[in-house]
Structure 1
Amino acid sequence: MNSRQRKELQLLIEHGSFSLSEFADLFSLSKRQIRYDIDELNLALEPTIGSEAVSIYRNVAYLHADITSQSLVKSEFFDERRDFSKNPLSVKERILLTAFYIAWSSKCYVTMQEIADNFSVSYDTVVRDMAEVRKYYAAHNIQVISEAGKGLRLAANESTRREILSSLVKEYKNLSRFHMAFDPHDYEELFPLENLQEVAAIVSNAEAYCAILLDDASFEAIIIHILLSVKRFKDVGTTNAPDTNVHASQSQLDEVRRNIASYIVEQVNNYFGIKLPDDELLYIGLHVGLYGWRVETDTPHVNTAIELACTALISAVDACMQAGFKQDKKLYTSLVQHIATAANRKTAHLKLSNPLREELLHEYGDLYQIIRQKSNSCGLDQLINPTEDELSYILVHFGAALARIHRAYQHKPRVVVVCATGIGTAELLASRLQQQFSLDIVSILAAHRLVSLPLDEIDLIISTLPSSITKVTTPWLKVGPLLDKEDCTKVAAKLSQLGFSTKQDVYVEADLSTSAKELQKILLEYPQPQDEPKLIAALHSYLEAKDKGGEDPMLSDLLCKDHIVLDVVCNDWQSSVEAAGQPLLKTGEITSSYIDEVIKNITEYGPYVVITKGIALAHASSAIGVNKTGMALVRLKTPVTYGNTANDPVSYVFMLASTGPETHMTALQCLSELLQDEASIACMAHATEPSEITEQIKRFEKTITVTIDC
């Protein structure tokens, strides 16, 4: 059981049930991966519980009523604190905690055998880990000293040690991919839960008492710093030499930060029954300003020098680029607040690392050079440390402004996606188009419904059908439903011909949950202040749609072994469609009228169902003959022709019946990926039993890297 699965189990214990969507959003994963986590939890719990511990119904996970933290501790499934022999650390977890263990011991040496015993691993494993631990410290310009007969120790003063301990805790927390608000359970393996909760309450009360608002990073950093301080005080004591860097910063603490630090130290001392040294007030006061904060009823707390430097920088960069930066008020506000926190970092002698630095420099290289050149002449270099990391963070704000300005003037091509039915292949095509291009897809519909649209407002029709089926004059492009590389080239060329940019949407591939992507799309669509009523309405519509729920089964749920028939003999395409419909007819998903409707549509509109070489996806509208969403597959003993010269003959016919797009999109997207996987195609070709294909589908579902909201 890994850290994420342990966290999932804790949440289920706390709440009794938890939706797969909430899990997926919390961990930035697909619901499919959450299902696999729950499968592994059940396997791990089975020897202890003796039955299925977690069940899933309508996309909600439910924990067996008899399972509690106490029952699991009593059964020795896990301890109140992590037992590494029962729940071993991952390699990355072990390296970070080993580094933490060494940094913590400021007086005595740590032996590698101690580390091995502490984390329940072999001595040889610790030897291998130490190579990575040394690399980690070297990257932070800290030396690990090794002395024969004594062990390992860190060559660092208390200030440096505090900084590295805080960094290690944050990195350890981020291994579980928790990027939301502070959650005490994220740090439960390092500090007692009740202490985490109490210190969080103290910091929250300090915000109210001093009338300031901390951002999430500051709030979390202060809590972890306080707990480290208390632990250091209890374990190490107060005999360390005063830190000159901190004392040099004492005069730089303004009244607001001094007040909040004093309040926090007083409350912490009362709660833990200790008296922290005076240095701690300075450490906490500096932490308030290292990330982001503001006075609750005021603008960001900055001085005139910062405001003038930011104004000068924006004007100087805009003079070089003529991009309209001076008109972007959000750029000014965000830059002023960022420079204020950067100035605090300089005062505290702390360095900032930007993990996106290389990507930013590659994407905005010219803009970065201008910012670097102008930062000195604008007086910015006197306020902050003008390192590449700090300047690349400033680049983030200018890059965001550039994107806002670009969106304000950009007109996305308005596109209609057309197929014979308005579902199935058209929805798959639309999904593929939105993955590859920045488009405004106005509608997805059947060919005969084109007459109902005001086509004078449409820039392009993209269809799986030829333009000859209708007499519209709007530009028309025929592509395959899977939108392969050749089709993408055709779309890009057509858009360019029509005068549109063909640059792909940079947000598509981001490591975001499905819900985050959907919300991001809504926010990007209404960026202007005057769009606020539309934005609110769109968000209401989105939330209402989410509340309605609806099943969205995986491909393996629909394409079970009873719906797969191998080596069927058919004389023509009509009989192959009938054969593909028989498994669904037998189990009641469709009536015979649905099969008739599919044959009628292919006869009228042509072989639109042949989606790639040798494969057809037979489908029609849900209006006739569909009782329940389902899918079937027949492998033909002898291929048949459908009239599609590029992809005939057809050897595999899938039949899709759907009650609506929300009930099949996950399965359809997975199918599109499956049909491009060589191992899966080989399995379909050589399987002797339907169960071989269903097992391959399940294996393939675990390997898909794109996030599908399943």
Structure 2
Amino acid sequence: MKDRTMQIFKRFIWSDYSLTLDELSEDFKISNRTIRNEIKEINEFLISHELSEIKTIRNKGMVLTLDQLEKEQLDALIDEKNEFDYLNREERIFDLILAFSLSEQPVFLYQKESEYQISKSTMDEDMRRVRNILLEYGIEVLSIPKQGIVLKGSERTIRTMIYDVINQAIDSLRFLDENASGLSISEIHLFRYIPREVLKQIDHVYHQTISSREDIYRNQLVMFTAVWLSRYLSQELIPSSDWEIWDIDQNTLKTSFVDQLCQTLVVRPPASELNYIVFMLETFSTGSISNSVEWVQAQLLSIQLIQFVEQTTQIPFSKKEESLHEGLYRHMAGLISRVKSEIQILNPLKETVKRYYGNIYFAIEKFAPAIEVITKNELSEDEIAFLTIHFSTSVSAINQELKYTYKAVVVCNHGTATGRLLAEHLKELFNIEVVAVLSTGEMELIKKLDVDLIFSTLSLTYPEKPILVVDPIIKIESRKNIQAFLERNKQFKRLVNNVNDSTELFYEVLDLIKDSGGTISSHIYRNLENAFDKNHLKINKRELQPMLKDVLKPSDILLLEKCSDWESAIRRVAYPLLKENYINESYVQAMIASVNEFGPYIVMGKHLALAHARPEDGVNKLGISVATLAEPVVFGNDANDPVKIIFCLAAVDSFSHLNIMKSLIDLINDETKINRLIDCSNVSDFEAILYEEEERQQK
């Protein structure tokens, strides 16, 4: 049975609902006729072993119904088939690449011919294709007497190639699931070279040092670490001259992870290897922002992307902008690092995301060139699909209007973002309150949660509570099955326990003050916030970001300042914030050091610079200051020099200054307004021009 046939077979085994020809045809990229032939072969296999066959249900699709005894019998048969079936060409090529790069013993082609039971001409064609694949990575395949097949190329590139090839061959690794049945041929061969136990050890250390929860990159981080470990233990090392020495922060989670892993496995890699693996793993982190360059780029790109997608799709993402920006910003930071370092990650839901959220996907694809200006490398379809997932989750949240609810838990091994997407769909479509998103390793927590139902993206059993297996993205065909599942368990339906969120009321009070002719000063804003707190009225303070005019005081505005160079310009614009203790001297030094290290990245638009560093570099309170320059200053940015106006931003977190950043983005795109500000000689005129857009929005 071919690998594709086996994969189709598994879809039927694991699915609790009917499958259609069109759905299978789209998922496997083959015709309906080919699908029918595959199902015919599967049914012949089932009949030969006296098992129930796949049946067609009129107007619904096809389904395979097995009792527990038949499932156990089938599991054993599939394991046997996987082990002894001949490999097809794709499977052989995958095994050859793994053997050449990960085998502990020399690999000779005559041995592989015998192992695969193929002719020399077939092996020659396999090797021709292997060479073409590896040539795309700049890697040569050499045959050396007594050494067998060896790879010639940069060690860093070889490791990236191995990781990439594994990702392309295997959608979702199941090395943690002891009950996972019917492993694919590719998985079986992978575990020959990287044992499942090694992957489990790495994952265990991840659990101890980084997070006990599943996240969108966990499996991939574990796999990349395993590739690194295998190559290092084979003494295929990265020379120090081949890798830029990276300053490892001993407090990072990735450093702790690597340190603990080395202790567990009793290995002592050299500094060049430690520098390499910590840096590479940092790029997998959604919260990895290693410097102030990435910090501000992630901020600006997230805001601009939300605005662009809302304008393109006409979906009001601004309703959920705060939560969307938080997740998107953290994801964007990791994305920038990955794409800059040419690290590719796989999104197993890519095609499904494109199918069901095509309008969002293609809007992000149009915006991609703006991100690529920063990354200097092209965004893959997988990265665009990950960004789409963040938006599609907000779409579900926007559409929610709950009246009653079922309390449930989602079990998903695809990662946190995918689990949340399923959770938002369940809330939107079926009034289900998802209390938690768990991995299979966290099943014990269900006993401690106040839930009645379980929705899982993989086949599993849990006798204590009703369980339904569903796809991560709920398709039209499966909605009836979920509705029927809820109907069977309608005794668990609960009334909604409304928790009053007074955020909208807060805004309404502000509008009343403005309508009656009042001015919303920062003093009134804070007093109102305190009044709500005092009366136990819950408000989402992440949605209450102040506007630019709420933070920028007249004393923070410096006009027609004389500065000899860019460093003195940064010091001058920072002075008001330093004087009022909004920032420490260390923050000023950090801003100057960042420009010295990374260049004039703070020049954001024509004649405009935004001086900043990271919040932890010495920010005490949210603040912003601005200075216009009597004589323009050159920062070294060919496209936007000379700088005529410079802002200094002191941010305390990743969300409280969102409205300020939006105002600055609007200003960056309005060169006429910048010129008007530069010509101002008094603070009142400067404020009137700077705030005119905010004034318009509030009327």
Provide TM-score, normalisation by structure 1.
Answer: 0.43
Provide TM-score, normalisation by structure 2.
Answer: 0.43
